[in-house]
A and B are shown apart, each in its own frame.
Chain A
C-alpha cells in the first residue's frame, strides 16, 4: 500500500490533515476534502477549490465516513466452499490468502484466455467512476468484448446517452443555468442532488431559479425536481414523447416559430428526402443534396450556402420527387395536436399549448449576446430529459422528441440553451491537453470529440452477427444490454449462433441480483457461470454467487488520476472552469483490502499479458512521449496515474503535484462552451439512417425468428405506447415506476446508517407512493403494508404512502432497495425491491437500444389482491 496523502493544511498538530480527493457515493464524483485526525477520518466536506461541486457536498457525500468505517465491510479474501449456488444458499465462505486467491484466479483466467477470451464477462458499477479505466484497460488487454456497467445499465440512461451523443456530442444534457430563462425537465434531476455533476448543478440550478429562470418539471411525481420547480406538470407515466411532440407542433405549426438559420447550418433539416425516406444524393460524390434557392437547383450540402438552402417546399431532382427533411418533420408534427396529446398524457390541451408557446417565445429566436467579446446566438430555453422519461421501450423517440424542441428553436449548445456536458475542450493552456472537439463525419453529421467508451454513437456501426453476449454488435444503437442475464438469453444466443458461452464473471462492485430485474431470472444466469470473481466492499446478495470475493478498498483508500474525466460525464457544463481533480488515498485500509486497480495490474502480470495491458493503458489514457509505457516493463497503477497526469499537464505536474494540490483548473472559453456556433457540424433532426439500420438488423434477426418492428426505426420520432399502456387485464389500473431516490445511490447506500436513518425519516424513500385520492377510492390507508402485483404475477410488498404529489394513475417506488442478504445488515429489509416486478427479456426492451425493461415506466401495473380490493392489507408470505 502506498503512502497516504500528507497533510495539506495543519493547525499545528502533527496528524491533522485535510486531504483533497473525490467522492464515490454516487457517480457525480464531487471533489472533497477529507479531514484526518490522528489517522482517523472525522469529516468530509466539499472542496471549494474544485469546480466539481464547488465546495458543496450532498447528504450522501458527507455520510461517506459511515460506509468507510462500516464494521460489515469485507476485510479478507473469501473462497466459497459450497458448490451449490442460489438465492438464500450459504456459500460457506472460508478465509484465504491473497496469494491463494490470485493464484487460482490467474490460472483460471489464463486458461480461459487461451481458450477464448470472449468467455470472460466483466461487469462494473458506475457508482465508482474510478473503476472505469482499469476495467476498460483490463478488458481490452484480455481481449474480451463483453463488458457492461451497473447490472446491464438499468440505472443508466441508454437512450439519453445515445441521443445526447448524436445530437450534443456528450453523455447527457443540462440547461445552461447561467443564462437559461426557461427550462423544461422531462424526468430529469439535473440540479436536484442526483446524477451527473450533482452538487455543482444543485448550486447552479438554485442560482438560476433565484435569478428568475422558470423551471417546468414534467414528471408523474412531484419529488426532488418538481418540488423545486416553478411549475409541476403531472403526466401519465411513459407518455413524455406525446407531450414533447405536441409542444413541437405548437412551436412550428401553430406559432410558426423556429430558428431557420440554425436548422439550415447546424442540422440536416435542408437535406432532401426521397420517397424511400432516404437522402437524395449527388450521383458522383454520394453526398446528400439540398435545394439551393438562389441557383434553383440541388447541390451537395457542402456546396451551398446554408442561408440559401430551402427548408420547405417540394422539388424534383433527377426525376425523383423530394422534400427537405424539415418539410417532412413539419408535416409529421401536425399529427400531434395538443388535443391528441391530452388524451395520452392527461395534460389539458390548453396547458400543452401554453407550455409550447412559453418555450418558443422565451427562445428569443434571432437574438444574440456578447460573452467575453464574442457575439453568440442567445437562446435561453432548454428542454432536457434523462432516465425518468426514457426508461422504457420508446426511449429513443422519447428523448429525441424532447431534444427536438431545442433544435427547432436553435438552443442546442447555444447561450442559455440545452448544453451537452463539455463536448469541446481546447486543453490546458500550458499543454493543449486534453483536446477534443466534435467534427463532421459521414453526410456532414457530427462525430463526438470524446466518448465514455470507444464505440462512438455516430457513425453507426454496421450490424453483424453478434459475438457480444449483450448482442450490441447486432443492435448497434445500444450501449449496455440486459441479455447477459435475461430469461431468454440462451434462446437468443442459440438463434444467433453465438460461438461460445460466458464462463467467468469478473464483477466490480455491482449487485447484479438487485440491479437488473426480477431476482429469479438474474439468479439463474449467475448460477450458470463456471466461476465468479467479485470485488466487493460488502457481501451483497450477488456476492453469494461468487466463488472468490476480493475485499476492495473504498474510495477513501483509493487512487485515480481521472475521477472526473472525460469531462462529458460529471464536470459541470456552462462557462466557468475546466477542472481535473484526482482521487487519492486518505487513510490505509484497516484489513487486508487491496485496490482493484492494483489487483488487475497484478493479475495481468500473472496471466502473462503485461504487454497487452501496457498497450491498452497507452491507448486509453493517450499516453505520449516520454510518459508512454514501455512494452515489457511492469508498472504500478500509481506510476500509470503519474504518467497520465504528466502527459496532460507537463512533467512538473505529476502525481506528487496532484497529491498536494488535489486539482488543476483553468478557465473555459466561450468557443469551447458554445462550440456549436463555432464548429461546422450538423446533427440529424431526421434520422435517415434508422430505416437502413433496421433493415440490416432485420436481415440477420428475422430469419432467425426475432422480429424487428418497423415502427421503432422510422426517421422521425413518434409516440409508441408500451404494453402497459394497452394492457387491459381487469384490476391492473396503476402504472408502477421506479425513481432514483436522492438519499440513495442504486442499491449501495442503504447500508450507510446515516443515509438509512434519513431514508426512514423520509416519507417516500422506503415506501410505495400512490395518489391520495386514488388510494381513498380503493379504501387504502396511509402506512399499511400492501402488495403490488404485475399482470405477470410478479409481486413486491411495501408500506403505503398516500400523497397528492403523484399522478392519479402512478405508483412510485424509490431507490433500488429491499435488500434481503445478511452481508448488509443495516440495509436488510429496508424499502421496496421494485426490480422484482420486472421481466428481463427481449419483449420488454426497446428493439432499438435494448433499453427499458425497467424503471420509470409503468410497464408494470399494480392491481388489487383479493376480491374487491385493489391491495391486500395484510402481508402475504
Chain B
C-alpha cells in the first residue's frame, strides 16, 4: 500500500522533507510507518517521536486519514488508494 506522510513543523524541518511517500506492506501499522521513517531519518528524528520504544511522546500528534491515532498498532487504512499520515510535535512548556 502507498502511504503519504506529511511532516509538519519541526519534523519537516528536521527531515528536510515535508512529504514522504512510502511503499508499505498491506495491513501495515502506524508503528511500521514510524519504523520506516526511523530508517530514513535516523535516531535523532525518532527520539522526537517516541518516548520509549512502542510509545509516542504525549506531545506527538499523528493523524491517519485525518483521524487522530496514538496506538502504534493501528493498522492503516487507505483513503482510496493511499493512506495519508500527518505528524506534528506540540512540544513546549506551559505555566500559570
Chain B residues whose C-beta falls within 8 Å of the C-beta of A803 in the assembled complex: none
A149 lies within 8 A of B9 (CB): no
Chain B window 31-58, contacts with chain A (Cβ cutoff 8 Å), 1 for yes, 0 for no: 0000000000000000100011000011
Q: Does A481 contact B (CB under 8 A)?
A: yes
Q: How far is the CA of A618 from the CA of B68 in the complex (A)?
A: 10
Say whether A619 contacts B88, CB under 8 Å.
yes
Q: Do B8 and A455 touch (CB < 8 A)?
A: no
CA distance A612 to B91 in the complex (A): 14
Q: Of all chain A residues, which has the CB nearest B47?
A: A464
Q: How long is the Cα–Cα vector from A480 to B95 in the complex, in angstroms?
A: 6
Tally A-B pairs: CB < 8 A. Answer: 131
Contact of B93 among A470, A615, A620 (CB under 8 A): A470
Q: Assuming A620-B90, A622-B68, is B9 touching A140 (CB within 8 A)? A: yes
Given contacts A156-B95, A454-B58, contact A619 B52 (CB under 8 A): no
A761 to B59, CA, bound (A): 47
Asked if A453 contacts B94 (CB within 8 A), the reply is yes
| CB-based nearest A residue for B18 | A611
Establish whether residues B58 and A145, one from each chain, have CB atoms under 8 Å apart when the complex forms. Answer: no
> Which residue on chain A has the smallest CB distance to residue B10?
A143
Q: Is A291 an interface residue (CB 8 A)?
A: no
Cβ of A132 under 8 Å from chain B: yes
- Which residues on the A side are within 8 Å of B86 (C-beta)? 615, 618
Tell me, yes or no, whether A153 is within 8 Å of chain B by CB: yes
Interface centre among B11, B12, B47, B52 (most CB of A within 10 A): B12
A157–B94 Cα distance when bound, in Å, is 11
Asked if residues B13 and A146 are in contact (CB atoms below 8 Å), the reply is no
Total residues of chain A contacting the partner, CB 8 A? 58
Q: Is the CB of B96 within 8 A of A140?
A: no
When chains A and B are docked, how far (Å) is the Cα of A454 from the Cα of B9?
Answer: 15
Bound Cα distance A142, B8 (Å): 9
Q: A147-B92, A149-B95 are in contact. Are A612 and B12 (CB under 8 A)?
A: yes
Give Cα distance in the complex from A117 to B8, angstroms: 12
Count contacts on B: residues with CB < 8 A to the other chain: 29
The interface bits of chain A over 453-474 (1 if a CB of B lies within 8 angstroms of the residue's CB, else 0) are: 1111001011010001010100
Known: A462-B52, A612-B88, A619-B88. A455 touches B12 (CB 8 A): no
Cβ–Cβ < 8 Å partners of B89 in chain A: 140, 143, 145
B17 adjacent to chain A (CB < 8 Å): no
> Known interface pairs A455-B91, A612-B12, A612-B88. Does A619 touch B63 (Cβ–Cβ under 8 Å)?
yes
Q: Is the CB–CB distance between A459 and B94 below 8 Å? A: no
A174 at the interface (CB under 8 A from B): no
The closest CB in chain A to the CB of B59 belongs to A454
Q: Is the CB of A136 within 8 A of B92?
A: yes
Closest B residue, CB atoms, query A616: B88
Inside 8 A of B95's CB, which chain A residues have their CB? 126, 148-150, 153, 155-156, 158, 161, 479-480
A631 to B84 CA separation, bound complex (whole angstroms) = 12
Residue A334 at the B interface, CB < 8 A? Answer: no
A384 to B69, CA, bound (A): 36
Residue in B18, B51, B63, B92 whose CB lies within 8 Å of A140 = B92
B93 touches A461 (CB 8 A): no
Decide if A182 is an interface residue (CB 8 Å cutoff).
no
- Measured between beta carbons, the chain A residues less than 8 angstroms from B90 are 136, 140, 453-454, 616, 619-620
Name, among B6, B61, B68, the residue most crowded by chain A CB atoms within 10 Å (CB to CB): B61
User: Which of B6, B47, B86, B91 is packed against the most chain A CB atoms within 10 Å?
Assistant: B91
Report whether A149 and B8 are in contact in the complex, using a CB–CB cutoff of 8 Å: no
Chain B residues contacting A139 (CB-CB under 8 Å) are: 92
Interface membership of A141, Cβ < 8 A: yes
Find out whether the CB atom of B92 lies under 8 angstroms from the CB atom of A615.
no
The answer on a CB contact under 8 Å between B96 and A612 is no
| Minimum distance in angstroms from B94 CB to a CB of chain A | 3
Say whether A616 contacts B51, CB under 8 Å.
Answer: no
Contacts of A147 in B (CB 8 A): 92-93
Q: Which residue of B lies closest to A614 (CB)?
A: B8
Chain B CB within 8 A of A764 CB: no
List of A residues within 8 angstroms of B61 by Cβ:
454, 619
B94 touches A132 (CB 8 A): yes
Point out the residues of chain B lying under 8 angstroms from A113, CB to CB: 13
Specify which chain A residues have a CB less than 8 angstroms from the CB of B26 in the assembled complex.
none
Chain B residues with CB under 8 A of A781: none
Contacts of B71 in A (CB 8 A): none
| Any B CB within 8 A of the CB of A171 | yes
Choose one: A161, A455, A616; the contact of B9 (CB below 8 Å).
A616
Question: At the interface, yes or no: B66 with Cβ under 8 Å from chain A?
Answer: yes
User: Is the Cβ of B9 less than 8 Å from the Cβ of A141?
Assistant: yes
A137 to chain B, nearest CB (A): 9
**Which among B58, B67, B68, B92 has the highest number of chain A CB atoms within 10 Å?**
B92
Knowing A140-B9, A611-B8, A615-B86 touch, does A145 contact B91 (C-beta < 8 A)?
yes
8 Å CB interface, A105-126 against B: 113, 117-118, 122, 126
* Per-residue contact bits, chain B 69-96, to A (CB 8 Å; 1 contact, 0 not): 0000000000000000010111111111
Q: Which of A141, A156, A624 contacts B8 (CB 8 A)?
A: A141
Q: Are B94 and A143 in contact (CB under 8 A)?
A: no
**Does any Cβ of B come within 8 Å of A628's Cβ?**
yes
Among A113, A122, A453, max chain B CB count under 10 A is at A453
Q: Which of the listed residues A142, A451, A456, A618 has the most CB atoms from chain B within 10 Å of its own CB?
A: A618
Cα A569 to Cα B90 in complex, Å, equals 19
Q: Tell whether A679 is near chain B: CB-to-CB under 8 Å.
A: no
For A116, the closest partner residue in chain B by CB is: B13
The answer to whether A143 and B9 touch across the interface, beta carbons within 8 angstroms, is yes
- Residue pair B8, A171 in contact (C-beta under 8 Å): no
Chain B nearest Cβ from A851, distance in angstroms: 10
Q: Are B88 and A615 in contact (CB under 8 A)?
A: yes
The reply on A587 being an interface residue by CB < 8 A is no
Residues of chain B contacted by A118 (CB below 8 angstroms): 10
Between A136, A140, A141, the greatest number of chain B beta carbons within 10 A of the residue's beta carbon is seen for: A140
Give the nearest-CB partner of A114 in chain B: B13
Instruction: Tell which of B9, B61, B95 has the most Cβ of chain A within 10 Å.
Output: B95
Q: How far is the CB of B71 from chain A (nearest CB, A)?
A: 13
Across-interface contacts of B13 in A (CB, < 8 A): 113, 117, 143
CB–CB A27/B96 < 8 A: yes
Q: How far is the CB of B85 from chain A (nearest CB, A)?
A: 12
Q: Looking at the assembled complex, report how far the CB atom of A30 sits from the nearest CB atom of chain B, in whole angstroms.
A: 15
B58 touches A615 (CB 8 A): no
Give A132's nearest chain B residue, CB to CB.
Answer: B94
* A569 touching B96 in the complex, CB below 8 Å, given contacts A136-B90, A462-B52: yes
The answer to whether the Cβ of A144 comes within 8 Å of any Cβ in the partner chain is: yes
A452 at the interface (CB under 8 A from B): yes
Specify which chain A residues have a CB less than 8 angstroms from the CB of B96 in the assembled complex.
27, 126, 129, 149-150, 156-157, 161, 171, 452, 569
Are the C-beta atoms of B47 and A454 separated by less than 8 Å?
no
A144 to B92, CA, bound (A): 8
Give chain A nearest CB distance to B95 CB in angstroms: 3
Nearest Cβ on chain B to A517's Cβ, whole angstroms = 15
CA of A136 to CA of B12 in the docked complex: distance in angstroms?
A: 17
* Cβ contact within 8 Å between A615 and B6: yes
Measured CB to CB, the closest approach of chain A to B93, in angstroms, equals 5
Q: A455–B88 contact, CB under 8 A?
A: no
Q: Which residue of B lies closest to A625 (CB)?
A: B66
* Among all A-B residue pairs, the 6 with the closest Cβ atoms: A149-B95, A453-B94, A143-B10, A156-B95, A147-B92, A153-B95
Q: A136-B90, A143-B12, A149-B94 are in contact. List 20 more A-B contacts (CB 8 A).
A: A27-B96, A140-B90, A143-B9, A144-B92, A145-B91, A453-B90, A453-B93, A453-B94, A454-B58, A454-B59, A454-B91, A455-B59, A461-B57, A462-B51, A615-B8, A618-B63, A619-B61, A619-B63, A619-B88, A622-B68
Query: What are 15 inter-chain pairs, A to B, with CB distance below 8 A?
Result: A140-B9, A140-B92, A143-B11, A143-B89, A144-B10, A148-B95, A153-B95, A156-B95, A447-B58, A451-B94, A453-B90, A455-B92, A611-B6, A615-B86, A619-B61
Contacts from A to B (Cβ < 8 Å): 27, 113, 117-118, 122, 126, 129, 132, 136, 139-150, 153, 155-158, 161, 171, 447, 451-456, 459, 461-462, 464, 468, 470, 472, 478-481, 569, 611-612, 615-616, 618-620, 622, 624, 628, 631
